[in-house]
Structure 1
Amino acid sequence: MLLRYFYNDKLAQASYFVGCQATGEAIVLDPARDVEPYLCTAEEQGMRIVAATETHIHADFISGARELAERTGAALLLSDEGGADWQYRYLDGYRHVLLRDQATFYVGNLRFEVMYSPGHTPEHVSFLLTDTAGADRPMGIFTGDFVFVGDVGRPDLLEKAAAQAGTAETGARQMFRSLARFKQLPDYLQLWPGHGAGSACGKALGAVPSSTVGYEKLFNWALQYEDEASFVAALLDGQPEPPRYFAMMKRLNKLGPKVLCGKPHVQHRPIQELTRLLNSGARVVDTRPAEAFAAAHVPGTINIPYGNSFVNWAGWLIDYNDPFYLIAERHLVEQMAADLSQIGLDDLAGYFDPPPVDTWSDAGLPMQSYQMATPRQIAQQILGDEVYVVDVRNQTEWDEDRLSAADHIMLGYLEDHAATLPHDKPVVVHCRTGVRSAIGASLLQAKGIPGVINMVGGLRDWMADGLPVEQGL
Structure 2
Amino acid sequence: MLIERIYDEDLAQASYLIGCQRKGEAVVVDPRRDIDVYRKLAAANGMKIVAVTETHIHADYLSGTRELAAATGAAMYVSGEGGPDWQYGFDAGRLYDGGTITIGNITIKALHTPGHTPEHLSFLVTDGAFSDQPGYLLSGDFVFSGDLGRPDLLDEAAGGVNTRFAGAKQLFASLRDKFLTLPDYVQVHPGHGAGSACGKALGAIPSSTVGYERLYAWWGPYLAANDEQGFIDELLDGQPDAHAYFGRMKRENRQGPAIMGERAPLQELDAETVAQDLARNAVTFVDTRHHERVHEGTVAGALNIPAGKSTASFGAWAVDPERDSRPLVLLAANQEQAQDMWDHLVRVGLDAVAGYVTGLEGLPAATPRVIQPEELEGFDRSLLLDVRNRTEHAAGNIPGSAQLSGGRVLWNLDQLPTGGPIVSYCQSGVRNSVAASVLRNQGYDVVELDGSYAGWAAWSARQQSMESVSAS
TM beyond 0.5: yes
Q: 2:15 touches 2:191 (CA, 8 Å); kept in 1? A: yes
Q: 2:303 touches 2:318 (CA, 8 Å); kept in 1? A: no
**Residue aligned with 2:213, SS:** helix
In structure 1, how many angstroms separate the alpha carbons of the residues matched to 2:180 and 2:47?
Answer: 35
Please state if 1:382 is matched with 2:379.
no
Q: 2:373 touches 2:450 (CA, 8 Å); kept in 1? A: no
Q: 2:424 touches 2:446 (CA, 8 Å); kept in 1? A: no
Partner residue of 2:82? 82
Aligned counterpart for 2:194 among listed residues 194, 197, 205: 197
In structure 2, how many angstroms separate the alpha carbons of the residues matched to 1:405 and 1:80?
Answer: 49
Deviation at 1:171, TM superposition (A): 1.2
Deviation at 1:307, TM superposition (A): 2.1
**1:323-382 residue CA offsets vs partner (Å, 9 max, x unmatched):** 232331133211111111111111223434423xxx33xx6x3x2213445xxxx34333
Deviation at 1:271, TM superposition (A): 2.5
Q: 1:190 touches 1:211 (CA, 8 Å); kept in 2? A: yes
Partner residue of 1:336? 341
In structure 2, how many angstroms separate the alpha carbons of the residues matched to 1:245 and 1:183?
Answer: 34
Q: 1:101 touches 1:116 (CA, 8 Å); kept in 2? A: yes
In structure 2, how many angstroms separate the alpha carbons of the residues matched to 1:59 and 1:412?
Answer: 13
Q: 1:263 touches 1:338 (CA, 8 Å); kept in 2? A: no
The letter for the 2-side match of 1:45 is: N
Alpha carbons of 1:438 and 1:284: their partners in 2 closer, same or farther (altered >3 Å)? same
Partner residue of 1:35? 35
Q: TM-score, normalised by structure 1?
A: 0.88
In structure 2, how many angstroms separate the alpha carbons of the residues matched to 1:450 and 1:247?
Answer: 28
1:71-110 equivalences under 5 Å are: 71-91=71-91, 96-110=92-106
Please state if 1:431 is matched with 2:426.
yes
1:9-20 equivalences under 5 Å are: 9-20=9-20
The sequence identity of aligned pairs, in percent, is: 42
Alpha carbons of 1:451 and 1:253: their partners in 2 closer, same or farther (altered >3 Å)? closer
Alpha carbons of 1:447 and 1:111: their partners in 2 closer, same or farther (altered >3 Å)? closer
In structure 2, how many angstroms separate the alpha carbons of the residues matched to 1:299 and 1:305?
Answer: 17
The letter for the 2-side match of 1:113 is: K
Structure 2 unaligned blocks of 5 or more: 464-472
Alpha carbons of 1:279 and 1:240: their partners in 2 closer, same or farther (altered >3 Å)? farther
1:432-447 equivalences under 5 Å are: 432-447=427-442
The letter for the 2-side match of 1:393 is: R
Aligned counterpart for 2:350 among listed residues 326, 332, 345: 345
Partner residue of 2:234? 234
Q: 1:119 touches 1:146 (CA, 8 Å); kept in 2? A: yes
Deviation at 1:407, TM superposition (A): 2.5
**Structure 1 runs (4+) greater than 6 angstroms displaced:** none
The letter for the 2-side match of 1:174 is: Q
In structure 2, how many angstroms separate the alpha carbons of the residues matched to 1:369 and 1:419?
Answer: 26
The letter for the 2-side match of 1:319 is: D
The letter for the 1-side match of 2:341 is: M
Partner residue of 2:111? 115
In structure 1, how many angstroms separate the alpha carbons of the residues matched to 2:77 and 2:141?
Answer: 17
Alpha carbons of 1:16 and 1:327: their partners in 2 closer, same or farther (altered >3 Å)? closer
Deviation at 1:270, TM superposition (A): 3.3
The letter for the 2-side match of 1:292 is: R
In structure 2, how many angstroms separate the alpha carbons of the residues matched to 1:207 and 1:219?
Answer: 15
Alpha carbons of 1:45 and 1:414: their partners in 2 closer, same or farther (altered >3 Å)? closer
Partner residue of 1:208? 205
**1:154-208 residue CA offsets vs partner (Å, 9 max, x unmatched):** 1111221110223222211111111112122211110000011111111111111
Deviation at 1:216, TM superposition (A): 0.9
Alpha carbons of 1:120 and 1:195: their partners in 2 closer, same or farther (altered >3 Å)? same
**Residue aligned with 1:307, SS:** coil
Partner residue of 2:468? none
The letter for the 2-side match of 1:455 is: D
Q: 2:244 touches 2:408 (CA, 8 Å); kept in 1? A: no
**1:202-227 residue CA offsets vs partner (Å, 9 max, x unmatched):** 11111111011111112211333232
Please state if 1:59 is matched with 2:59.
yes
Partner residue of 1:407? 402
Q: 1:318 touches 1:324 (CA, 8 Å); kept in 2? A: no
In structure 1, how many angstroms separate the alpha carbons of the residues matched to 2:415 and 2:251?
Answer: 31
In structure 1, how many angstroms separate the alpha carbons of the residues matched to 2:23 and 2:207?
Answer: 27
The letter for the 2-side match of 1:320 is: P
Q: 1:241 touches 1:395 (CA, 8 Å); kept in 2? A: yes
The letter for the 1-side match of 2:230 is: S
Partner residue of 1:183? 180
Q: 1:429 touches 1:455 (CA, 8 Å); kept in 2? A: no
Partner residue of 2:301? 300
Alpha carbons of 1:467 and 1:259: their partners in 2 closer, same or farther (altered >3 Å)? same
In structure 1, how many angstroms separate the alpha carbons of the residues matched to 2:294 and 2:419?
Answer: 22
Alpha carbons of 1:19 and 1:299: their partners in 2 closer, same or farther (altered >3 Å)? same
Q: 1:31 touches 1:54 (CA, 8 Å); kept in 2? A: yes
Alpha carbons of 1:39 and 1:396: their partners in 2 closer, same or farther (altered >3 Å)? same
Aligned counterpart for 2:447 among listed residues 452, 459, 466: 452
**Residue aligned with 2:328, SS:** strand
Q: TM-score, normalised by structure 2?
A: 0.89
Deviation at 1:248, TM superposition (A): 1.7
Partner residue of 2:466? none
Q: 2:283 touches 2:329 (CA, 8 Å); kept in 1? A: no
Please state if 1:369 is matched with 2:367.
yes
Aligned residues, how many?
452
In structure 2, how many angstroms separate the alpha carbons of the residues matched to 1:443 and 1:19?
Answer: 43
Deviation at 1:449, TM superposition (A): 4.6
Aligned counterpart for 2:160 among listed residues 164, 171, 184: 164
Moved more, 407-416 or 171-180: 407-416
In structure 2, how many angstroms separate the alpha carbons of the residues matched to 1:87 and 1:449?
Answer: 41
Please state if 1:47 is matched with 2:47.
yes
**Residue aligned with 1:397, SS:** helix
